[in-house]
Amino acid sequence: MQTSDGLPAEIDLSRPSAARVYDYFLGGAHNFEIDRRLAEQIASMTPNLADTMRAGREFLRRAVRVLLDAGIDQFLDIGSGIPTVGNVHEVAQAANPQARIVYVDIDPVAVAHSRELLAGNDRAVAIHADLREPKLILDEARSSGLIDVDRPLGILLAGVVHFVPDADRPAEILATLRAAAAPGSFLVVSHSTFEDQPQEMLDAQRLSARTDTEITLRSRAEVTGFFGDWTVLEPGVVHMPLWRPDSPSDVDEHPERFGAFGGVARYDRTAG
């Protein structure tokens, strides 16, 4: 069902959407005035946030290209938000028109927008699910007909695991996802960190405890642990701009200022 302006009826334009705010920061077009006002307020308090979001998106694009070069043609993108500028299906299907993508997000607004954007693309779908229910995600992905877990799969967790508190056992969640994957699969993770961060960033993170999207900052060792016994690709788990930049000139003088690590790992047959 749609409203008179053509938008899905479940999209509430009386409240800003976190997914649309993220879209705005990335330069996307799937946002509204109410989202832009909130984004500007956030930017006034944390002026580096937009750069951090863009660095995260660039890391994801580079990682997807590496997976494509390795022969991956199916992707499970969990915590995808709105598939905005430089999204996974655009990057993947530009290189391989047969590539299949299942987007997953907990935000019904993001899912509604995603489904609208993906209309007519029979190799990309969006499902509404919570990362904390990995078995449900896997079942839904299989049911879509686009994901075959018996073949190598790219599992993408870009900027989402830090929303899972320790009490919800994120390591076990990722272990469940890894256990369902076939040899030759890849896992991509980017995650906010407290390491190498100034005090003002840590103070800002504490403010997130007042919202329903609190972020848990973790160490490089903790993020690395999410890959289990899979083979972590070079250069390892590093500040996002340092992960296989397209050009040395693309690396900021202070890559740590973006406040997040990124890494990619492969499931070799010797892994358990």
Kindly tell me if the per-residue pLDDT of 209 is higher than 90.
Answer: no
What count of residues does the chain have?
A: 272
CA atoms lying within 13 Å on the CB side of residue 66: 23
Domains of the chain as residue ranges with CATH: 49-198+218-267 (3.40.50.150)
Instruction: Using pLDDT thresholds of 50, 70 and 90, give the confidence band for residue 82.
Output: confident
Q: What number is the average pLDDT over the span 184-211?
A: 74
Give residue-wise pLDDT tens across range 162-189.
989 999 999 999 999 999 999 999 999 9
Give residue-wise pLDDT tens across range 91-119.
999 999 999 999 999 888 788 888 988 99
**CA torsion angle 186 191 197 202 (round to 10):** -170
Kindly tell me if the per-residue pLDDT of 271 is higher than 70.
Answer: no
CB 218 within 8 A of CB 157: no
| Segment holding 190, helix H or strand E | strand 186-192
Cα separation, 2 vs 269, whole angstroms? 48
How large is the angle between the packed helices 108-117 and 18-25, nearest 10 degrees? 60
Beta bridge partners of 189: 157, 263
Task: Decide the pairing of beta strands 238-239 and 260-266.
Answer: antiparallel
CA atoms lying within 13 Å on the CB side of residue 28: 27
